Amino acid sequence: MNTSLRSASEAILAAYPFAGGTPELVEGLLALCPELVLRDGDVLCRERSHGEEMYILLDGRVDVTKLDQRGATHLLTSLVAPDLIGQLALIDHAIRSATVVASGPAVVRVLDRRTYTRLCHSPTDEGATLRRLLLAALHQQLSRAHAAATRKPLPPRAGLVEIGETDLIEDEDTQDIEVALATGE
Amino acid sequence: MSLHPSRLTVLPAFKGVPMADLTELCRYVYGRHLLRGEVLYEEDAPATDACLLLSGRLSVRLGDGKVVGDLWPGELVGDAALFDTQGRRNATVFAVMDSECAVIEPQLFALLPHNRAVVAIEEHLLASMARRIRAANARLEQTWRPEAPEAPNPGAAAEPKKAGLRDTILRILGVG
């Protein structure tokens, strides 16, 4: 048993609980993913690039940035372990929606598209673990987005760091976002 | 109402799924028939199951009465209940025409982890949720307006600050 992977697995399950999830299964999933050690400033993925990997942040912190219409870079947030990064690109083949940069030393596990495709289509415990972990993460993301669009209280989430300035958004825009969340249109 | 596996074979999501797996799935899901105008899910009602639309058409209506979209055969509605059994419906869903659904309960995934039809449902869900997140991100980018500097107006009462776009983006990306 790999102690660090086991503790990481338990942390992931605590952050993204799902039916049938066990530390053993999550650890098995992590063991299939090569480790990547990042230094401060290392770019994990770039906005608008095509993604062939997703990442599981096991240690450290990364900054998530995005370009506005003028090309200026805005720091959206920082993510701290445990967290999933870049999974949408594997699910829907679309381009990266943000740039992710290591903020200090960080460690991720890399799940490439080939492994993702094999597991995602597989009626095995490993495949179920990956699918359900992703579903749990996406569900949390949608729940928070819906709460934001409807101005309802958000559930707390530990381990997050918020930095930066704010911009203005009009009330009618939040309804458009709410519609998109509900229908995907 | 029991469901025959042949009702599922017409859906693209189940293309290639062995009939044995569909038959097993049908032991754990049941059919529900909706008449035109009948409400499937009421907003703010407890969310305990999801539905896979087999035939007909459903519409989604938000709290202010605005109909925001339609659902077609093969689409899954109410999927939040599969992850949060303590949650409530965030919209009303009703039948625009006579429709038939397969009702899916959360325990299905724990009961049939190796069933290829369940794998198909999970993959379908991943694609649907990813699409919704992308759509919300796209709408968010369209509305992104950097804060413009305002000239000071002595004597004017300070207006309450509107919800920051940054905060909303944080929450859209799941980190707020």
Per-residue pLDDT at B152: 41
Residue A161, chain B, CB below 8 Å: the answer is no
Residues 34-53, chain B: which have Cβ within 8 Å of A? none
Taking CB atoms and an 8 Å cutoff, what residues of chain B touch A57? none
Burial of A92 (C-beta count, 10 Å sphere; 0-12/13-18/19+): middle
Residue A137, chain B, CB below 8 Å: the answer is yes
Q: Give per-residue pLDDT as tens, B79-123.
A: 888 887 778 888 899 999 999 999 999 889 888 989 999 999 999
Taking CB atoms and an 8 Å cutoff, what residues of chain A touch B106? 19
Compute the nearest-CA separation of A184 from chain B (Å).
4
DSSP state of A71: S
ipTM of the complex: 0.80
3-state SS, one letter per residue, for A138-184: HHHHHHHHHHHHCCCCCCCCCCCECCCCCCECCHHHHHHHHHHHHHC
Per-residue pLDDT at A76: 80
Give whole-number Cα distances, A182 to A72, A169, B84, B148, in Å: 30, 20, 16, 31
Per-residue pLDDT at B65: 83
In whole angstroms, what is the distance from residue B171 CA to residue B151 CA?
A: 31
**Mean pLDDT, 10 residues at a time, over chain B (176 residues)?**
88 93 94 96 92 95 84 90 82 95 91 93 92 79 52 45 52 46
Phi, psi of B108 (to 5 degrees): -55, -40
Compute the nearest-CA separation of B155 from chain A (Å).
23
Residue A68, chain B, CB below 8 Å: the answer is yes
Tokens of A103: 């903020």
pTM of the full structure = 0.80
Per-residue pLDDT at B45: 92
Phi, psi of B122 (to 5 degrees): -65, -40
Q: Is the dihedral of CA A115, A118, A124, A130 positive or negative?
A: positive
Instruction: Mutation target for A interface from B89, B90, B111, B115: give the one with most A CBs within 10 A.
Output: B90
Chain centroid offset of residue A102 CA: 14
Burial of A156 (C-beta count, 10 Å sphere; 0-12/13-18/19+): exposed
In tens digits, chain A (185 residues) has pLDDT values of: 455 899 999 999 999 988 778 999 999 999 999 999 999 999 999 999 999 999 999 999 999 988 877 888 888 888 899 999 999 999 988 889 889 999 999 999 999 999 999 999 999 999 999 999 999 999 888 877 776 666 554 443 332 323 233 333 444 555 555 555 555 54
Residues 4-63, chain A: which have Cβ within 8 Å of B? 18-20
Tokens of A156: 């707390």
Per-residue pLDDT at A2: 52
Instruction: Mutation target for B interface from A62, A91, A161: give the one with most B CBs within 10 A.
Output: A91
Pairwise CB contact (< 8 Å): B144 & A69 = yes
Pairwise CB contact (< 8 Å): A135 & B126 = yes
Pairwise CB contact (< 8 Å): A142 & B114 = no
In whole angstroms, what is the distance from residue A156 CA to residue A152 CA?
A: 12
Inter-chain Cβ pairs, chain A and chain B, closer than 8 A = 209
